[in-house]
Structure 1
Amino acid sequence: MKITVIGSGRWGGFIAWYLSGMGHTVTIYGRAESAKFASLRKTRTNGLVIFNDTVSFCDQRKQALESAELVVISIPSQSLRGLMKEISQYPLEGKTVVLCMKGIEATTGKRLTQVAEEFLTPETGLAIWVGPGHVQDFTAGIPNCMVIDSNQQKTKELLIEQFSGSLIRFYYGEDLIGNEVGAASKNVIGIAAGMLDGLNKTALKGALMSRGTREIARLIRAMGGKEISAYGLAHLGDYQATVFSEYSHNRAFGERFVRGEPYGELAEGVATTKALLRLGEQYSVELPICRAVDAVIHGGQAPDKVLSDLFLRSQKAEF
């Protein structure tokens, strides 16, 4: 199958590497003016994976899109609208678009499939690829389980058939709302986990995981999704990779933030925090962990006091 991958960062690069290893014809699209893309094309590595000779590089958007049967997108979630506006100028009917990011549009509170749908026709397949896993673990040969979800059953069947291998076992998603919200919000939980690490309160991560899952489950239910999705691979199942792993950008961001140290990598949970609070207000759901993270990052409040108040001073029934 001919696949074009848009986004050549850590995850996008892995996807191109993984799919080419599955026997697909993979093209990585990047902007001609990007020094990062030029380096990638020259060296054939992003520092984590080395691309074999079957992977090609293209800086002509029309060529990259027209030749593809599948278009896989792995870019910062807040940049999706701009990209979709650009690529919607080209015929995408009959193709399938797969979103491999975890976020919610901060300015609107829209899920990423909702953003993409504004620019696609019903004849274009649309799906998400979410769940746990870090590039460093996959390239070391450590397998994991992930989820493909879509409103179109035939799209899920196509992708799981084409993407499944010994390294990743894919499950059929059954709740697009729950899986999108769950995948995005686990990054906020990851930031909170990092803050606990930075404050030497790592022991509270158990409470964080328990309360965080319940918090997001309530939001998913209010939005019309299935509450149980919060306990699936897209959210709770991704906690190890987000809450504990040394490779988690969001956990590392939270830890360094409370220590007053700079962090140069993208932490999707920062923008997602604002988006979730917007959704919480829209659907009348209280989100205390999201609000606590926002109070520290955007409100300038003392993290030790905010997190202590959140976990240690509550006197109410657990459920």
Structure 2
Amino acid sequence: MNITVLGCGRWGTFHAWYANHIGHQVMLWGRPGSAHLRALRDTRKNEYLTLPGEVALTDDLARALSFAEVIVVSIASQQLRSFCAQLRDLGGWSGKRFVLCMKGLETGTGKRLTTVMQEELDGVQTAVWVGPGHVQDFIRGLPNCMVIASADLSLTRDLVDIFSSPLIRFYYGEDLLGTEIGAAAKNVIGLAAGMLDGFGYSSLKGALMARGTRELSRLIEKMGGNKMTVYGLSHLGDYEATLFSPHSNNRRFGEDLIAGRPFAKLAEGVYTVEALMDLSSSYQVELPICATVYEIVRHHKDPKEQLMQLFLRTTKSEQA
């Protein structure tokens, strides 16, 4: 099968490598002038992997769309709406099956990424591909489990069949709302984990995991999703890769913030926490961990003081 990957950063390049690895014909698109695309053209390498010669490279978006019926999108989540507008103006997207491989919520609206896709491309077929794993581990042949979810179970099943392999075992996600909220929110919990590491309070990450899943389950339920989804692969299942791994950009951002070191890579949790605060207000659901992270990264409140206030909150029932 022909598969196009839109976005040639860390994950986009991996998705192109992976689709080729499991036997598909692949085209990888990058924006005109992209430094990532230029490096791949010159060396076929980035800091994570070597891209096989069979993977075609292009900066022509129309060509990339026409190449395949399955389109994997791997760009910064906050760029999705403007990118969809570009696709709409270009044409050629109708009838394609899109797979979003980003974890985030739109700032300013709190909207899920599949909602953004539907608003900009009416009738588009969209799924999300989320769950634990790091490029560095997959390239070494270390397997993991992930989730594909959409509003159409037949679409989900088709995509799972297309992308499954011994390297990645996919599960069907049957709660799209909970899957998207959980996948996005785990990056915010990752920021908090990195801050705890920065202070040498790593033993508190067990409590962070327990309470983090609890507060997000309340939000998902209030929004109309299944509160148990947060305990699956899209959120809790991704904690090991996000709260503990040295490869996690979100955890490293939190740790570097405490150490006063600059962090140049994309940490989606920094943007997602703002959207979660909008949802917290809209649905009247208290999100104490997310609120603490928000005060630290957005209002520059003292991290140690904020984290201590969080973990020394008034005694209450664990089920609350």
TM-score band w.r.t. shorter chain: over 0.9
**Amino acid of the structure 2 residue aligned with 1:109:** G
* Gaps in structure 1 of 5+ consecutive residues: none
The aligned residue for residue 142 of structure 1 is 142
The aligned residue for residue 114 of structure 2 is 113
Q: Return the alpha-carbon distance in structure 1 between the equivalents of residues 30 and 313 of structure 2.
A: 50
- Per-residue CA deviations over 1:206-250 (Å, capped at 9, x if unaligned) read 100000000000000011000000100000000000000000000
Deviation at 1:59, TM superposition (A): 1.3
Q: Return the alpha-carbon distance in structure 1 between the equivalents of residues 65 and 212 of structure 2.
A: 39
Q: Return the alpha-carbon distance in structure 2 between the equivalents of residues 99 and 32 of structure 1.
A: 21
- Give 3-state SS (helix, strand or coil) of 2:146's partner: strand
The aligned residue for residue 288 of structure 2 is 288
- CA contact 2:62–2:92 (8 Å) conserved in 1: no
- CA contact 1:77–1:101 (8 Å) conserved in 2: yes
**Amino acid of the structure 1 residue aligned with 2:271:** A
Q: Return the alpha-carbon distance in structure 1 between the equivalents of residues 248 and 204 of structure 2.
A: 18
Q: Provide the TM-score with structure 2 as the length reference.
A: 0.97
Q: Provide the TM-score with structure 1 as the length reference.
A: 0.98
**Amino acid of the structure 1 residue aligned with 2:157:** E
- CA contact 2:153–2:174 (8 Å) conserved in 1: no
Deviation at 1:313, TM superposition (A): 3.6
Matched, 1:80 2:115: no
**Amino acid of the structure 2 residue aligned with 1:286:** E
- Give 3-state SS (helix, strand or coil) of 2:54's partner: coil
* Alignment of structure 1 residues 4-153 onto 2, 5 Å: 4-89=4-89, 90-122=91-123, 124-153=124-153
Identical residues among aligned pairs (%): 53
- Per-residue CA deviations over 1:6-39 (Å, capped at 9, x if unaligned) read 1111111111000011111110111222233112
Q: Return the alpha-carbon distance in structure 2 between the equivalents of residues 314 and 302 of structure 1.
A: 20
- CA contact 2:29–2:60 (8 Å) conserved in 1: yes
- Per-residue CA deviations over 1:264-299 (Å, capped at 9, x if unaligned) read 111000000000010010001000001100111112
- Per-residue CA deviations over 1:118-138 (Å, capped at 9, x if unaligned) read 12232x321000000000111
* Alignment of structure 1 residues 144-293 onto 2, 5 Å: 144-293=144-293
- CA contact 1:93–1:121 (8 Å) conserved in 2: no
**Amino acid of the structure 2 residue aligned with 1:119:** E
* Gaps in structure 2 of 5+ consecutive residues: none
- CA contact 1:101–1:130 (8 Å) conserved in 2: yes
Q: Return the alpha-carbon distance in structure 1 between the equivalents of residues 36 and 191 of structure 2.
A: 27
- CA contact 2:186–2:236 (8 Å) conserved in 1: yes
Q: Return the alpha-carbon distance in structure 2 between the equivalents of residues 195 and 304 of structure 1.
A: 9
Q: Return the alpha-carbon distance in structure 2 between the equivalents of residues 256 and 109 of structure 1.
A: 27
How many pairs does the alignment contain? 318
- CA contact 1:199–1:258 (8 Å) conserved in 2: yes
CA RMSD of aligned residues (A): 1.0
**Amino acid of the structure 1 residue aligned with 2:92:** P
